[in-house]
Amino acid sequence: HPQAFKSIELIEGDGGAGSIKKITFSEAEHIKHAKHRVDHLDKEKFVYHYTWIEGDALMNVFEKVAYEMKFEASHDGGSVCKISTKFFVVGDVQLDEEKLDAGKEK
């Protein structure tokens, strides 16, 4: 939802691998800010990997959260986005699977 974002600012790099983006969310969102690092971008294969490295949604529970996205053509002429997520916790924090699943739905 575009209205979820107040601003997206490229603070380091040119948008490719190694770049850092600062995202500020709208007041209506429960998350206020985030920083993402672009890890891999393949425009020809429609692949985008990034890592959430800073922000209030990490809640002092996660060191970082890595995402791998791939866009593919669907049989109906549209597209399908496949997302893989890896959570890296701080210390020996135990994750609540129900909370993680609830977060995926948002």
75: Cα separation from own chain's centroid: 27
- Asked whether residue 100 is domain-assigned, the answer is no
Query: How confident is the model over 35-90, as pLDDT tens digits?
Result: 999 999 999 999 999 999 999 989 888 999 999 999 999 999 999 999 999 999 99
Please name the residue ranges forming H helices in 1-106. 97-104
How far is 69 from 71, CA to CA, in rounded Å? 7
Query: Is residue 72 within 8 Å of 48, Cβ to Cβ?
Result: no
Q: What is the model's pTM?
A: 0.82
CATH number at residue 10: 3.30.530.20
- Asked whether residue 30 is domain-assigned, the answer is yes
Q: What is the DSSP letter of 95?
A: P
- Asked whether residue 54 is domain-assigned, the answer is yes
Q: What is the pLDDT of residue 10?
A: 98
Give me the number of domains the chain comprises. 1
Q: What is the pLDDT of residue 102?
A: 59
How far is 103 from 58, CA to CA, in rounded Å? 12
Q: Which residues contact 77 (CB under 8 A, 6 or more apart)?
A: none
